[in-house]
A and B are shown apart, each in its own frame.
Chain A
Amino acid sequence: MANLKNTEKKTKAQAMGMHTEVLTGRTQQKFFNPDEAENFYYFGTYDVDFNKRTDLDVLDMTAPEANKEIDNLMSQGFGTIVIKNPQGKHSLGVGILNKLNLIFEGSLGYFGMGSCDGPIVRINGRVGWSCAENLMAGKVVIEKNAGSCFGAAIRGGDLICKGSVGARTGIDMKGGTIIVGGDAGAFTGFMMQRGRIIILGNVGINLGDSMYDGTIFVGGEIGSYGSDAVDSELTKNDQDWLKRKLKVAEIGENFDVTKMKKIVAGKKLWNYDNLEPTEKKGAI
């Protein structure tokens, strides 16, 4: 097993503000004894073969029907599934708790790829609101634009939009990485708690409003800062990580990361050690 107590790595992670993060979902966590792996069962998962490929035309299917069929195909061992004619339907590809190579040839509506844990997804179109909400692990790549609440409450994985995204990107996110090749709307990183957001273009007003923790990197102009969002120094570690991440994300490989701005929480808004007014009375 890997030595998780590697001091050097821990220090580096701490320097980047990642020391409290758990960036992986259940499929990637080593929270059980490997010797007992054969006894481990994760509901809704199958052994799939990435070389076993099939197409699924969802033109005349409802979202539940399409999602059940994806599940059915995974149960047959298909590891690569190409979805034809998604036509902006809502809630496609939700709840996939499996390693899977999933390709959408078209656009998705709201809540596409929500609550997933593990799949590698490519969407050759646009996505509506709340794409990949609650993503726990895996990678979702959107070739065009995305709507608001992109990556809301994600806990892990990589969520990449090559175009522009709407408002409240990464709202309430608790881990993982969101990468946007274009611009982002208002309230990006609103109430984010952990994780990282990278925006190569401009961002709208109230960036990082009420963020608890986490980091936002911006390559373009910032409309305005939200409450408690403050600038921080972009370190060498940050730059190396950004370069690596952008390369993996297939966007901005040649982007000059040295000019990016780093925004973090000022941590002045909240203080859990403070007593509530009623408690103060009692203390007095």
Chain B
Amino acid sequence: MCGIAGLIHRGKSSKVGHELQGMLQALKHRGEDSTGYALYGDTDGKNFIMRFKVGENVGEGSTSVAEDVSVYDERKKIVDNYLSELGAKIIKEDRILPYSLRYEIEYDKKDLLNFSQKIESIPGVEILSMGKSLEVIKDLGNAKMVCDRYNLDKLVGTHAIGHARMATESGVDIKSAHPFWGYPFSDVSVVHNGQLTNYWNNRRALENKGMRFMSECDSELIAVYLAEKMRDGASLEEGMKDSLSGLDGVFTYFVATKDSLGMAKDTMAAKPLVLYESDELVAMGSEEIAIRSILPHEIDTYDPFDGEVKVWQI
């Protein structure tokens, strides 16, 4: 059934990695096949942060095929070469796990489409996120396991969205885990709870328009759908409102950009969402216990209505 959570601090930064971990861990009964974080950290905004994977987690429960670590090394070398060819300079390199890497890169071109296509032309390589503030971290296991594995507890930032996944429509692997990057837009990420029934029709149409899908997870469609709308000049909110009729099925989803956080709920209101809103903080999750993990005192919360779209700025 999956659980989603998100929060945005307005006018200040906080330990969003720690806070989101608590929220997602409170929702672990909704699925712990994989957990993902999209964290918007405090940076100087000069360089891009690229989170990418060169292989899959083949641990317990994974549906991926095991590969030798030397294959990962080989793919990493090709990525490094391609970055050099693209004119991107690696400022800092972290190999967090054999298959998961974080690069801080200097890259002054605005077009991330060619950049991403080049990097992802390497079989087995996928950019999880690309942005000057956004970092998408996703892996198998519950929120605490992923947080500990990637040391996310201390990450300071303004906002974040996350997802606790029960795999239903596609495999138990990182590529199908949420959040999805709004490829090829810098700093856009999406998490979704629900099921989209016109996935293939939309996917075919979007692929014909040059958009890319990395998985067969229906939720990825939302990120691609919004990215395509924004590519054509729509604002985030306009794209989200359009999605209420363009996407069929049941859904509640969050989308985040460098300076905003939004939610949309389908017209059937079939998927849960509880929202807390104040001048300093907006926190939301599939269940109230997610919000309670960071706000244990008595607060006023509510369920957004059917067909509702909301966007908040930092």
What residues make up the interface of A, taking CB atoms closer than 8 Å to B? 87-90, 106-107, 109-110, 125-126, 128-129, 144-148, 163-168, 183, 185-187, 204-205
Asked if A185 meets B306 with Cβ closer than 8 Å, knowing A128-B287, A205-B267, the reply is yes
Q: Is the interface of B mostly helix, strand, loop or mixed?
A: loop
- A109 — which chain B residues lie within 8 A by C-beta? 287-289
Which of B274, B298, B300 makes the CB contact (< 8 A) with A147?
B274
- A163 — which chain B residues lie within 8 A by C-beta? 302
Contact check, B272 vs A147: say whether CB atoms are below 8 A apart: yes
- Asked if B305 is at the interface (CB within 8 A of a chain A CB), the reply is yes
Q: How far is the CB of B251 from chain A (nearest CB, A)?
A: 14
- Asked if B303 is at the interface (CB within 8 A of a chain A CB), the reply is yes
Asked if A186 meets B302 with Cβ closer than 8 Å, knowing A88-B289, A109-B288, A109-B289, the reply is no
- Asked if B91 is at the interface (CB within 8 A of a chain A CB), the reply is no
Contact check, A186 vs B268: say whether CB atoms are below 8 A apart: yes
Q: How far is the CB of A197 from chain B (nearest CB, A)?
A: 17
In the docked arrangement, what's the CA distance between A167 and B266, Å? Answer: 11
Q: How far is the CB of A147 from chain B (nearest CB, A)?
A: 5
Contact check, B301 vs A148: say whether CB atoms are below 8 A apart: no
- B233 — which chain A residues lie within 8 A by C-beta? none
Contact sample, A vs B, 24 pairs, CB 8 Å cutoff: A87-B292, A88-B291, A88-B292, A89-B289, A106-B298, A107-B288, A107-B301, A125-B298, A126-B301, A126-B302, A128-B274, A128-B288, A145-B303, A148-B272, A148-B303, A165-B303, A166-B303, A166-B305, A183-B305, A185-B303, A186-B269, A186-B305, A187-B268, A205-B267
Contact check, B272 vs A204: say whether CB atoms are below 8 A apart: no
Number of B residues with CB within 8 Å of any CB on chain A: 20
- A205 — which chain B residues lie within 8 A by C-beta? 267, 306-307
Q: How far is the CB of B76 from chain A (nearest CB, A)?
A: 44
Nearest A residue to B297 by beta-carbon distance? A106
- Asked if B296 is at the interface (CB within 8 A of a chain A CB), the reply is yes
Contact check, B305 vs A204: say whether CB atoms are below 8 A apart: yes
In the docked arrangement, what's the CA distance between A109 and B301, Å? Answer: 11
Q: How far is the CB of A203 from chain B (nearest CB, A)?
A: 10
Nearest A residue to B271 by beta-carbon distance? A148
- A185 — which chain B residues lie within 8 A by C-beta? 269, 303, 305-306
Contact check, B287 vs A88: say whether CB atoms are below 8 A apart: yes
- A126 — which chain B residues lie within 8 A by C-beta? 288, 300-302
In the docked arrangement, what's the CA distance between A89 and B26, Å? Answer: 10
Interface residues of B in 290-314 (CB under 8 A from A): 291-292, 296, 298, 300-303, 305-307
Q: How far is the CB of A33 from chain B (nearest CB, A)?
A: 47
Contact check, B305 vs A107: say whether CB atoms are below 8 A apart: no
- B306 — which chain A residues lie within 8 A by C-beta? 167, 185-186, 204-205
In the docked arrangement, what's the CA distance between A148 and B273, Å? Answer: 10
- A90 — which chain B residues lie within 8 A by C-beta? 287, 289
